[in-house]
Amino acid sequence: MSDSFHVTYLLTLFPGEEPEERIRALQLEQSVELPDGVVQTLGMQHVTGSVTGMEPIGEMVADTPPEGSHPRTRKVKVTIAWPRENLGNEITQFLNVLFGNISMKRGIAITDIRWEDVSGPGGLLKGPALGIDRIRKNWDIPVRALACTALKPMGCTSIQLADLAHKFALGGVDIIKDDHGLADQASAPFAERVRLCVEAIDRAAQKTGRRSRYFPNITADPHRVAGRYEQAAELGADGVLLIPMLVGPALMHHLARLDTGLPIMAHPAFSGSFVIHDPVYSVAGQVSSRPGPVQNAPPVEPNSPVEANSAAEPNAAHGFEAGLFYGGLMRALGADFTIYPNTGGRFSFIRDVCDAINSHARRPDHPFAPCFPTPGGGMQRDRMAYWLQNYGTDTTFLMGGSLFEDPAGIEAASRAFMETLGT
């Protein structure tokens, strides 16, 4: 195992900034938080990591732009090898080094992490407890894509939600999860809801001969989460839904290491500000090959008048590259399923971003078991054949509202959904 871990950043250089000073500022901010001269005097240079690669991207033009527009910017991609000692063998500190103080700066994007540096025997990260292959084996679904839906809306009683679960299960949906807004409300208390939904799914299985799986939402104040995870297992749930950015990403990794054995589905709520949303430089700092559509706005092309006259600084990509965050990081932190907003739905992710998430979730060269990418957020059944062809069978498709609004009813709509996946 390496004594350092490598992280690649995409830095936007604004007029007057040079690559070396921008990179050094990053190294200092994410480690010692002292001026370079003080670091030299103290002999602490080893703490600030070392630059192992640098690649300029783009060209700088005149600092004085046309009136009413912004100066063009250039970028530099840099890989820094951080000392593993900086982590203290804690995931929270690992995340702090990745995106701590620099999350409050501008134009800093994280595009790659060398996972083998922080995995393996004695490593910090272990990935999913189950992953795609073990879930397929445990559930006896060896080949096809999986179907998922959500119990909603918030405000329903436990009996009403259980009735919905029964209908979805009669239609054959593989995974019936709580909507992420279902918690421990008086209308549907956690323990009561889980018990009734499990019973409803069991009744459906007696009729169909095929059992759906129920994933209750265990997201709660952090000190309650592990207890709800164990309680879900005791009540007969088949997996759990968790919002890692609310309870803490390290907590999901902790749950995946427990003997409870339920697969974990990571929900992306509260994560939007952590990822790059720039429709031009949205995938690892590179210009997208398929720039649109973007919700409520036309696609922005490089050098276009829309870009040049934007009120925001152009192409200052900031945050995690979305494929790395939802596919790579959630997988490393223990998610067996990672939900993300599919392109063309209610959110603004473009197709290249979705492809990148799918790739990171399943890449065989990563040291963790692959997890199921789970696109959702407004998927329609009449497009399912297209998405199945493009995303492949190692995908779990999440469809909610489309099933609720089908005039044929939830059971029939669910059965038709499953037919599109080849059941």
Residues 99 and 40: beta-carbon distance below 8 Å: no
CA–CA separation, 12 and 77 (whole Å): 9
Token pair 């932190």: residue: 333
The Cα-based distances of 244 to 139, 194, 230, 248, 353 in angstroms read 25, 20, 17, 5, 20
pLDDT of residue 423: 80
Burial bucket for residue 142 (CB in 10 Å: 0-12, 13-18, 19+): exposed
pLDDT in tens, the chain (423 residues): 579 999 999 999 988 889 999 999 999 999 999 999 999 999 999 999 999 999 998 654 444 555 555 556 689 999 999 999 999 999 999 999 999 999 999 999 999 999 999 998 889 999 999 999 999 999 999 999 999 999 999 999 999 999 999 999 999 999 999 999 999 999 999 999 999 999 999 999 999 999 999 999 999 999 999 999 999 999 999 999 999 999 999 999 999 999 999 999 999 999 999 998 765 555 555 545 443 333 333 343 333 333 333 334 557 899 999 999 999 999 999 999 999 999 988 887 899 999 999 999 999 999 999 999 999 998 888 899 999 999 999 999 999 999 999 999 999 999 999 999 988
The Cα–Cα gap between 412 and 408 comes to 6
The widest CA-to-CA distance across the chain, in whole angstroms, is: 75
- Specify the pTM: 0.91
Distance from C-alpha of 226 to C-alpha of 9, rounded to nearest angstrom: 34
- CB contact at 8 A, 41 and 88: no
3-state SS, residue 4: strand
Please give the pLDDT value at position 316: 86
- Which distant-in-sequence residues (6+ apart) come within 8 Å of 308 by Cβ? 65, 66, 69, 70, 314
Residue located via tokens 């919002």: 243
The reported pLDDT for the residue numbered 314 is 56
**How far is the C-alpha of 335 from the C-alpha of 237, rounded, in Å?**
17
Q: Residue 277 — φ and ψ, nearest 5°?
A: -115, 5
Q: Are 374 and 340 in contact (CB under 8 A)?
A: yes
Catalogue all structural domains in the chain, each as residue range(s) with its CATH number: 4-118 (3.30.70.150), 131-268+320-420 (3.20.20.110)
Q: How far apart are the first and last CA of the chain?
A: 44
Q: Residue type at 326?
A: Y
Helices (H), 113-248: 131-139, 158-170, 190-208, 222-234, 244-247
Specify the pLDDT at position 72.
60
Contacts 24+ apart (CB under 8 A), 359-364: 359/323, 359/327, 360/323, 360/324, 360/326, 360/327, 360/328, 360/331, 361/326, 361/327, 361/328, 361/330, 361/331, 362/132, 362/327, 362/394
List all residues 6 or more positions away from 413 whose beta carbon is below 8 Å from its beta carbon: 171, 381, 402, 403, 406
